[in-house]
Chains A and B, each alone.
Chain A
Amino acid sequence: MPTLFQKVWKAHAVRTLPSGQTQLFVGLHLVHEVTSPQAFDMLRQHGWKVAYPERTFATVDHIVPTSSLQRPFLDVTAEEMTAALERNCREQGIELYAPGAPGADRQGIVHVIGPELGLTQPGMTIACGDSHTSTHGALGAIAIGIGTSQVRDVLASQCLAMEPLKVRRIDINGRLRPGVYAKDVILTIIRRLGVNGGVGYAYEYGGSTVDAMTLDQRMTMCNMSIEGGARVGYVNPDETTFAYLKGRPFVPHGEAFDRAVAYWRSIASDAGANYDDRVVIDAATIEPTVTWGINPGQSVGISEPIADNADGEALTFMGFARGQKIAGTKIDVAFIGSCTNGRLSDIEEAARVVSGRRVAPHVKALVVPGSQAVSRAAEAKGLDQIFRTAGFEWRGAGCSMCLAMNPDRLEGRQVCASSSNRNFKGRQGSPNGRTLLMSPAMVAAAAIAGEVADVRQMLTPAQV
């Protein structure tokens, strides 16, 4: 009995290459400004054209300034990289969503706009020159992060040379406790299975907790699969998925939609599918979780002490001690955004905590919506005003402080409560900067308290 992974792989397999790898057709190729210019150059050197420009879509996210999306960007390099992508897309007939260009209102983080526009669909293979491509698996796609030479391959041939992955089924069962979010679930999974536990695997998430999740929550989970070493993460498509997709710009309408749903249903893993490994997690055991270290597996529950066997290098860098609790850690910056937690529901969850409160005076706090569509939706609900009134900055769409390729970055030893996905040394722009990963609601709580705080104590019984 095949899994979704096996069915999708088989449908896209072109042939076996002499190396033994599969030549895999890519149903959707997403491109951004940072990992593509060298690939387009290589294409030009060989005189190749893009094989399927109509299945290729581009946006700018990593380097764009979020303080003003006015073109030309004040940051000369950001302008140069955006202009290069514009040129490449024009030359090759690729649709591009960038500020200052037609379709600008569709710009955003590549992993936010793919699902939002309905480009991402169940049963597709998707490739993008970015490791968090795994996000798109939330809709039942097999979405693979690739390097620049592979971007060149996909541009030239719409194919990848790859070996199939094993599949690990991860069941999460039961109701999440109040104040516990998808982010806490995935941080817990990575903590338990390790940052390289998923190497060689695709992670299939399921169980009653995942069944009850919205698509936004499933995206948060799939997004961080790569932080557990799994190149691919996915959830089988179900009614929630179909309802999410209905009416989105690139999704078929009318009878074609019904035919699409029938197909999408057919590619889900069969009941009784054979998995290479299985893991079961009880949702009730998960509490708000925060990283204390320098990789996403180094985390603790908010009420737990840091373990006695915690890694010494990480502790020294972060300034924590074994046995210490994370709650009460003073923060300097609060960042709500990224492809992990920069969607409308994330911003709404944070707004519930922020509403009627003020950011602690010593904290710089910013909200960076994941896309321009997320910004517009949040503004229509007045969420920007809630954040502004509380003392947050409300920014334009992009990756921003997730990786600090634009002016948003930590200084010196600053500590940042962040809703992003990586707490690596130097990730947020300062070599000594310190990142604490947590859910957007927990970031909001930390911004208000000025220190890491248990969001459950800030939610009224009516809110939880």
Chain B
Amino acid sequence: MKITQMAGRALPLRGDDLDTDRIMPARFLRAVTFEGLEKHLFEDDRAADPSHPFNDRRYSGATVLVVNRNFGCGSSREHAPQGIARAGFDAIVGESFSEIFSGNSVMLGMPCFTAARGDVERLQTLVEQSPDTVVSCDVESGLITAGPLRIHASLPAAARDSFLSGQWNPTTMLLDDFDAVRQVAEKLPHISGF
């Protein structure tokens, strides 16, 4: 499936270094499926702060999450982006992301756009003032529009190309040429046994 554009209302979530333990506390990893994770998104932060944006009804139904710097740092748990995707988000816009988090998100078909701090903050402010604003994200150009705002964002080249070509879920691609895999393996001393 090609992923080219997404548009919807947004949820502004301010703060740097929001780690995966905050996004999805470890006790919710006690399960053999990802089902129902969306219910526990930011559960502890939401309990501690009644005005947390995820508690704010004005943002219910949002599909674009707007965050700040180093979002998703910490653990490799896919439970974090799974929870976000299962809560209905199909794109995240932020200043920067941890590599494992953004890589995991690509595998779920959820692009993580990066933009300059000032632009992200303007977008957050706009959405806080007018939660009904539709935010549109274009994968190819990286253009994000929201009311009067036009922001130039970007995706890692490989992520962008894989969304545009529909090959963001690479397993079949990795299995395409298995002879080549075997050849590489045979040449490796730790596989062939020195």
> Which A residues are within 8 Å of any B CB, using their own CB?
11-15, 17-21, 23, 25, 27-28, 34-35, 37-38, 41, 46, 48, 51-52, 55, 62-63, 77-78, 80-81, 84, 121, 123-124, 129-131, 133, 145-150, 152-153, 156-161, 163, 195-196, 199-200, 226, 229, 231, 252, 256-257, 259-260, 263, 295, 313, 403-405, 422, 424-427, 429, 431-432
Contact = CB atoms under 8 A, between A and B. Distances in A.
Chain B at the A interface: mostly helix, strand, loop or mixed? helix
Contacts of B51: none
Interface string B122-162: 00000000000000000000000000000000001111011
Given A147-B104, A150-B107, A14 B78 contact: no
Indicate the member of A55, A403, A424 with the most B CB atoms within 10 Å.
Answer: A424
A416 B42 CA distance: 23
A17 B173 contact: yes
Contact of A405 (B15, B30, B73, B167): B30
Contact of A11 (B19, B159, B161, B188): B188
The 10 closest A-B pairs by CB, nearest first: A147-B104, A149-B107, A431-B44, A147-B78, A37-B32, A157-B174, A148-B78, A131-B76, A196-B70, A161-B170
B47 interface: yes
10 contacts: A27-B190, A27-B191, A35-B76, A146-B76, A153-B170, A195-B70, A252-B193, A403-B26, A422-B19, A424-B74
Interface in B166-185: 167, 169-171, 173-175, 177-178, 180-181, 184-185
Interface string B29-61: 111111000000000110110000000000000
B194 A259 contact: yes
A198 B184 CA distance: 29
A195 B30 contact: no
Interface in B54-89: 69-70, 73-78, 81-82
A121 B191 CA distance: 11
Contact of B194 (A199, A229, A256): A256
Contact of B22 (A23, A152, A426): A426
A13 B170 contact: no
A14 B96 contact: no
B174 A77 contact: no
B17 interface: yes
B174 A153 contact: yes
Contacts of A148: 34, 78, 82, 104
Nearest to B28: A405
A123 B98 CA distance: 26
Contacts of B70: 195-196, 199, 229
A81 B32 CA distance: 6
A199 B22 contact: no
B118 interface: no
A374 B156 CA distance: 42
A406 B98 CA distance: 27
B48 A431 contact: yes
Interface in B70-122: 70, 73-78, 81-82, 96, 98-100, 103-104, 107-108
Given A14-B180, A81-B30, A424 B19 contact: yes
Contacts of B44: 425-426, 431
Nearest to A125: B188
A148 B69 CA distance: 24
A51 B189 CA distance: 18
A38 B86 CA distance: 15
A432 B99 CA distance: 27
Contact of B26 (A158, A199, A405): A405
A137 to B, nearest CB: 15
Nearest to A258: B194
A37 B32 CA distance: 5
